[in-house]
Each structure stands twice: as C-alpha cells, then as structure tokens.
C-alpha cells in the first residue's frame, strides 16, 4: 500500500484527503496519479468503485490556478447522475482550496439558470457532452484556457452516441491540454478515441485489486433452460431473505421478448417486477425508471441497451439471466453492483449451451469461473416480495407550476399522512410521481382525489 503523503500534492489537497479519511491510495490511484501529476496523458481501465474519481479529481485540482477566472478543467460524464456524483466528489476534495468554482452542466436541465450562472467562467465544469457542447457553441462557456480534459466512463459515452459531441468539444478547447481517459472496458472504439485525442498516453489497467476484497462477488450457476425461471425466483428470494428487507435487483436478458416474459413471470410469483427495453415508448421507460428509483419496483428486468442510460448508483444484486454475448457486456452488467464502496453480488445463470460464452467471460476476469451449485427447491406456494413503496401519478407537472413541496403539503395536510410515509417525488413537465409507503398508498390516493393540490383538482392514479 502506498500513502498519499508520498505524492507531491499541494497541502490543501492532503488536508482534504485527511478529512475524508483516505490515507492509502487504491491500486488505480497508486498507478495513475504519478503519471497524471507528471502531466502525462493517461488511459485508465478501471471500474466504478476503484477510486478513479478521486484520482482524476486530485490531478485536475492541482492544475487549477484559482486567481485566473477562466475554465481550466472539463470533466465529461455519460449521465447527469454520474456528473452530479463526480461534481460532489471533486467539491469535497476542493474543500480546502478557497474560491474554487465548479459547475455541473447537464442536459435535461433548463438552460436559463445555467446561462445565469455562467456570467463568469467557473474553474471546473463537470457535465454531459451534449450540453457542454451547446454552451461552447453558444459562447456561454469558453474552452481556450482548459488545461485538463477528463473523459469519465468513456466506454458508456461511446455507447450512448456521444463520439461526435466529444470530438466537437475537443475542437473547441485549448489545443494543448492533458487528456485523462477513464473506462471500465477497452473496446476498439476506445483505442480509436485514445489515438485521436491523446498524446503518448500511459496505460493503466487494474482489473482486480489484489490487496482488497473484490467489490463484486460473482457466482455462476449452471441450469437447464426450462429451469431458469425457478432458479431466478429462488436466487432473488434468497437475496431478499438475507436482510429481511426487500433488496433491489437488476436482471439482464439478452432479448426484448425475454425481458417481458421474465418480468411477467416474476410478477406472477409475487415480486414487484417491471420490464425495460427499447421497444417501449420513452415515457413508459421514464416511468419504469422512476418507479425503480423510488422503490416501488424491486426487480427491474432489462436489455443491455435499455440499461445503458440508466443512472442507478448502488445496487446490491445483479442477475444475468442469460450469459452476455461478449465479455465487455458482461463487465458492464456486473459493474451495476458493487459501486461506491459497497459490496455487490453478481449472479449468472448459464445453460450448458451457453458455457462456451461463459468461458470467454471468465477468461477476461483472469480466473476460473466461480461455479456454485443450485439445488432447486420445490415451490412452496406464492410468497410476496413486494417493494416497500407504491407510486401515485398526478397528471400535472412543471407546466402547471407544480413543485414537490406542493404535493408533500397536500399529502401531509388535512389527510394526516406523515412525511415519513411519503417517498421520492419526481416532477416532470406534464406529470408528477410520488412514492408512498405501500400500506398508505390507498389513503393517499383518496386524499388527493377529493382534496386539492395547489388549490386545484388534478387527475391522480395509482400505478400497479
């Protein structure tokens, strides 16, 4: 193990590390920080949970000159949620540097407030490619002083079709800058990007931290095709039982029609399960994600493509219902768990026919597949594994000037629902979703139907 104190980091950064309780570097940090601090371009293959954010965060912060009021570091992330997370992490590291200005600029957020906060360039921007490109084009953001460019989860950005936006951004910023590229996988597209945007990069790959327990425990179960539904239900039930509460899980299938079939089957077996795939309307997809994130759905069954744009932070359990077609996809799938320092469990069901594919996956992990035997227990009737919340949908939103506080107020007012019975509230342009503790959902529905929200009557439904 190597201590941060062995690096030539400015004192304010060392003080922040101490406050965060980080003394030793993670393997990714130990390998990537020395070349980054020496000003080299790096391409780092590392998973979320490896400490990569702190690695590039420290590196970019020590390049910032606070007295220069101009943009000096730009971090591009595939999703808003990741950008928020990264922004927060960098702010913590910057806690002891007075007057650092960091702004997150993401798509899906109104442009007006962003323009208002851009009267002076911030020192650091963390954002999604489309929106950052828009600001650079409009001239509301200036890239001429950028010293460090970070591409975080670059493989996901490629998958999501951001290649052109990234190239355009690079064309609009200072020609001489350091480029730090982070990616969980290293497909050919990434090699091409690296070759295009980096100069003589130092390559760092940390597959499994040798001195720590892996953040993700993988188990492979061989089952006959006909037994997959039983095996899945049994594995989910076992995971649910471990801590009493209903744990959330993400189940991956290779095909859309299988996604629907598996979700229906789980629903029949007493799970709050929903399907997510590309054949669905955008609005239905949004709704499914809202319900999963607000804990009204405990099992999300998805295809790889549908799951790509999904910003879910730490899931305790991922199940691969089929073996992925290539090892990179498998790596993406299991990377959905074991995040943010939490341990995760990744289970893969594998039929005898799928075994050759599984060997390829295991070869990437560099270790023999950890097989587990699974004895299928006879079904003991239907047990319920329902999600703790239910979702109410109100046919009104930002357009009606509806805010989360209005909904919370209506629910906790006369009806006497307790604030702790009300969960996440998501307000979209024309509709709003509110999660209510399952046992009180009926009461909340009645209350909103007869009462008023913001002095008006809106249509309200319960999603089931």
Binding site for ligand AMP (CB under 6 A): 22, 25-26, 29, 48-54, 340-341
Q: Exposed (0-12), middle (13-18) or buried (19+): which is 373, by Cβ within 10 Å?
A: exposed
Q: Which is nearer to ligand AMP, 334 or 410 (CB)?
A: 334
In angstroms, what is the minimal distance from the CB of 55 to ligand AMP? 8
Q: Which is nearer to ligand AMP, 55 or 460 (CB)?
A: 55
Q: Which is nearer to ligand AMP, 82 or 235 (CB)?
A: 82
Q: Which is nearer to ligand AMP, 50 or 272 (CB)?
A: 50
Cross-strand partners of 427: 432
Residue with tokens 């991956």: 252
User: DSSP string of 323-345?
Assistant: --SSHHHHHHHHTTBS-TT--EE
In angstroms, what is the minimal distance from the CB of 71 to ligand AMP? 23
3-state secondary structure of 148: strand
The torsion angle over the Cα atoms of residues 364, 365, 367 and 372, rounded to 10 degrees, is -110
Q: Which is nearer to ligand AMP, 50 or 104 (CB)?
A: 50
What are the DSSP E strand ranges found in 298-388?
A: 299-302, 317-320, 344-350
Q: Which is nearer to ligand AMP, 211 or 281 (CB)?
A: 211
Tell which residue, 444, 379, 385, has the closest CA to residue 418: 444
Nearest residue to the partner ligand AMP, using Cβ: 53
In whole angstroms, give the CA distance from residue 44 to residue 42: 6
User: Residue 422 corresponds to which tokens in the numbers above?
Assistant: 């009300």
Tell which residue, 437, 464, 449, 448, has the closest CA to residue 407: 448
Q: Which is nearer to ligand AMP, 51 or 397 (CB)?
A: 51
In angstroms, what is the minimal distance from the CB of 335 to ligand AMP? 11
In angstroms, what is the minimal distance from the CB of 42 to ligand AMP? 15
Contacts 24+ apart (CB under 8 A), 52-56: 52/28, 52/152, 52/182, 53/85, 53/86, 53/89, 53/90, 53/152, 54/22, 54/29, 54/89, 54/93, 55/26, 55/28, 55/29, 56/32, 56/150, 56/152, 56/180, 56/182
In angstroms, what is the minimal distance from the CB of 256 to ligand AMP? 31
In angstroms, what is the minimal distance from the CB of 182 to ligand AMP? 9
In angstroms, what is the minimal distance from the CB of 280 to ligand AMP? 30
Q: Which is nearer to ligand AMP, 36 or 393 (CB)?
A: 36
In angstroms, what is the minimal distance from the CB of 343 to ligand AMP? 12
Tell which residue, 235, 255, 404, has the closest CA to residue 316: 235
What are the DSSP E strand ranges found in 86-237?
A: 102-105, 124-127, 148-151, 178-183, 202-205, 216-222
Q: Which is nearer to ligand AMP, 25 or 165 (CB)?
A: 25
């Amino acid at each position: 193990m190597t201590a941060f104190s062995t690096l030539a980091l400015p004192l304010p950064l060392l003080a922040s590390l101490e406050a965060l309780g980080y003394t030793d570097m993670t393997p990714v940090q130990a390998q990537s920080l020395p070349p980054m601090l020496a000003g080299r371009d790096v391409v780092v293959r590392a998973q979320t949970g490896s400490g990569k954010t702190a690695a590039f965060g420290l590196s970019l912060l020590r390049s910032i000159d606070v007295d220069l009021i101009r943009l000096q570091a730009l971090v591009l992330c595939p999703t808003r949620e990741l950008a928020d997370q990264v922004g927060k992490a960098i702010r913590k590291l910057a806690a002891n540097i007075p007057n650092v200005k960091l702004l997150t600029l993401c798509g899906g957020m109104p442009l007006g407030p962003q323009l208002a906060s851009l009267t002076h360039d911030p020192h650091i921007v963390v954002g999604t490619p489309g929106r950052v490109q828009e600001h650079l084009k409009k001239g509301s953001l200036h890239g001429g002083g950028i010293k460090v460019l970070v591409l975080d989860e670059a493989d996901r950005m490629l998958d999501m079709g951001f290649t052109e936006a990234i190239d355009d951004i690079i064309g609009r910023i200072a020609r001489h800058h350091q480029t730090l590229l982070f990616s969980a996988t290293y497909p050919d597209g990434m090699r091409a990007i690296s070759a295009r945007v980096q100069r003589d990069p130092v390559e760092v790959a940390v597959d499994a931290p040798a001195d720590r327990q892996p953040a993700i425990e993988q188990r492979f179960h061989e089952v006959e095709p006909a037994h997959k539904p039983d095996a899945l239900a049994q594995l989910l039930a076992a995971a649910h039982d471990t801590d009493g509460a209903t744990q959330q899980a993400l189940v991956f299938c290779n095909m859309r029609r299988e996604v629907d079939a598996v979700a229906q089957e789980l629903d029949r077996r007493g799970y709050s399960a929903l399907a997510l795939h590309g054949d669905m309307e955008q609005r239905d997809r949004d709704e499914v994600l809202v319900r999963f994130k607000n804990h009204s759905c405990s099992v999300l069954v998805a295809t790889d493509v549908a799951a790509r744009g999904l910003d879910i932070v730490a899931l305790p359990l991922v199940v691969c219902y089929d073996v992925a077609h290539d090892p990179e996809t498998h790596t993406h799938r299991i990377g959905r768990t074991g995040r943010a320092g939490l341990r995760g469990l990744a289970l893969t069901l594998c039929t005898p026919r799928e075994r050759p594919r599984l060997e390829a996956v295991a070869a990437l992990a560099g270790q023999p597949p950890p097989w587990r035997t699974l004895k299928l227990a006879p079904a003991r009737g239907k047990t319920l594994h329902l999600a703790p919340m239910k979702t109410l949908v109100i046919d009104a939103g930002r357009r009606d000037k509806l805010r989360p506080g209005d909904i919370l107020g209506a629910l906790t007012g006369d009806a006497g629902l307790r604030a702790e019975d009300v969960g996440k509230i998501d307000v979209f342009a024309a509709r709003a979703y509110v999660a209510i503790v399952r046992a009180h959902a009926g009461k909340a529905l009645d209350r909103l139907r007869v009462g008023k929200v913001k002095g008006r009557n809106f249509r309200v439904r319960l999603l089931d």
